[in-house]
Amino acid sequence: MVTLADLQVRTLGACTVKSPLAMYVGDRETNEYYVGETDRILYDDTIELITARGVPLDELPTFEAGGPRQSIFFDPATTKVGVVTCGGLCPGLNDVIRAIVLELHTHYGVRDVVGFQHGYAGIVEANGHDVVQLTPSYVARINERGGTILGSSRGAQDPSAIVDRLVELDIDILLVIGGDGSMRGAHNIGREIASRGLSIGIVGVPKTIDNDIPHIGQSFGFSTAFAKAAESIKAARVEVEAAVGGVGIVKVMGRHAGFIACYAALANHDADFVLIPEVEFALDGENGLLSLLARRVAERGSAVIVLAEGAGQDLIPADDRTDASGNAVLGDIAGFLRDEIGKDFANRSQPLTMRYFNPGYAIRSVPADASDSVYCTRLAQTAVHAAMSGRTDMVVGRRRHRFVNVPIPFVTAGSHSVSADGDLWLSVLESTAQPFSMR
């Protein structure tokens, strides 16, 4: 069970420097649109959940509010900040970099901001990657591009070697933009820093195109990703409606969480079946996918399947390989389904025209849309506020429209996924008219 202690953010020390943003927040108090500096944000959001805990108000689990403080830990005139992007690409990475640099320069007066190239590998001197000076002019238009100007990489690096380089370069704050594996790496770096008694802050801006990091609300880049995926679903619908016995399969990202598949399908109601890792399905039998698909095509002339990459892994042989991040290599569920559907329609002597769409890299590499750009900016600003006030070993997020600071160990202890009993999956079932159970 989550406790108040689980949500306490670690700090480097007392905030004794007057913040350049003090004038912005001096007289602000908590209201419908703002959370005061001394207030906290409830973890639970219903009366039943709060009541069930049976603890006093001051013991309820709560998050520290994100945002600027009247006093900060680091003196902007002498502070040096490093920025690194890790893991796979995602819409909005450049937006976050740009907003970090502009916030540090414009509002805090921090002039020394550097970028490490190609993820954690770029911090380790032995790997030979140059350090980039990040200035407002350097980042001015990068938000118009996809990807990350700093480059990225996967795989762990030695925390000791990373801390050695941070010390060598006089880095006071490291801002990490990456997924759950990157945040575990940030936590390990923070532990090495603490073991040496150093005052270097580590603050993360969590990034996951699959939206599978818990307790941070929606991850940046996700809305752009599912919007692009929805375009492929719409194209699939056009293609299959023009064909005899048209069946379209649209494969989208989602190793362990089917959020992109669900949201993309809901965006235009063009999907007939949505297959996600969290909900098992059978191929055979009266209520299996093959029979349901054949009936849907016979009744409507065509059908579109939206397939998350991690769905149906129990139906295909396991693969013992792992990628550079230690993730299991997924089996080719799309290829498997194409073969099985082809054989089933042939056995039924039912006409079939198959169309396959895989927009994965197009989804990852595009610039953020306007909504995501706004969100990236606000997350970046919140991360800078936390870092300058001496918070460390934490990430920023938005919990029910309130920006919060969250300890890294808390967000990396589990994962976020689509609940088969939740209202999102219910909405998908309503939209597609697929059965509640396909087993």
Which domains does the chain carry? 4-220+368-399 (3.40.50.450), 223-362+420-432 (3.40.50.460)
Q: What are phi and psi of 403, to 5 degrees?
A: -75, 135
Lowest-confidence range among 58-62, 309-313, 323-327? 323-327
Q: How far apart are CA 41 and CA 210, in angstroms?
A: 25
- Between residues 93 and 325, which one has the greater pLDDT? 93
SS3 category, 204: strand
What is the sign, positive or negative, of the torsion defined by CA atoms of 40, 44, 46, 52? negative
pLDDT more than 70, % of the chain = 98
The Cα–Cα gap between 173 and 166 comes to 9
pLDDT of residue 384: 98
The pLDDT value given to residue 166: 97
DSSP per residue over 82-108, as a string?
Answer: EEEE-SS--TTHHHHHHHHHHHIIIII
- Cα-based torsion angle of the residue sequence 216, 221, 227, 233 in order, rounded to the nearest 10 degrees: -90
Average pLDDT over residues 125-140: 95
What do you get for the CA distance between the two ends of the chain, in Å?
A: 33
| pLDDT band, very low/low/confident/very high, at 327 (cuts 50, 70, 90) | low
**Amino acid 64: pLDDT:** 97
With CA atoms as reference, report the closest residue to 334 among 422, 228, 250. 250
Angle (deg, nearest 10), helices 93-103 and 370-388: 40
**At residue 303, does pLDDT exceed 70?**
yes
Averaged pLDDT, 100-108: 97
Question: For position 362, what pLDDT does the model report?
Answer: 85
| pLDDT class of 322 with cuts at 50, 70, 90 | low
Can you give the pLDDT at residue 156?
Answer: 84
Q: With 70 as the cut, is the pLDDT of residue 296 above it? A: yes
Number of residues that this document lists for the chain:
439
pLDDT tens profile 5-51: 999 999 999 999 999 999 888 888 899 899 999 999 999 999 999 99
- What is the model's pLDDT at position 414? 86
pLDDT at 244: 97
Kind of pairing between the strands at 173-178 and 131-133: unpaired
Instruction: Identify the pLDDT of residue 326.
Output: 63
Q: Band of the pLDDT at 325, cuts 50, 70, 90?
A: low
How many Cα atoms within 13 Å fall on the side-chain side of residue 273? 32
Sign of CA dihedral 20, 23, 24, 27: positive
- Provide the pLDDT for residue 323: 63
Whether residue 95 contacts residue 371, with contact meaning beta carbons closer than 8 Å, is answered with: no
338-358 residue pLDDT tens? 999 999 999 999 999 999 999
Residue 371 has pLDDT above 80, yes or no: yes
Q: Which residues contact 48 (CB under 8 A, 6 or more apart)?
A: none
pLDDT category at 329 given cuts 50, 70, 90 is confident
Give every CB contact of residue 344 below 8 A, 6+ residues apart in sequence: 290, 293, 294
Burial of 197 (0-12, 13-18, 19+ CB in 10 A): exposed
Distance CA 410, CA 414 (A): 8
Confidence bin at 139 (pLDDT 50/70/90): very high
Cβ(417)–Cβ(261) below 8 Å? no
Q: What's residue 382's pLDDT?
A: 98
Give residue for tokens 């992007």.
85
What pLDDT does residue 155 have?
Answer: 81
What pLDDT does residue 324 have? 59
List the catalytic residues.
Answer: 210
Q: In which band, very low, low, confident or very high, does the pLDDT at 415 lie, cut at 50, 70 and 90?
A: confident
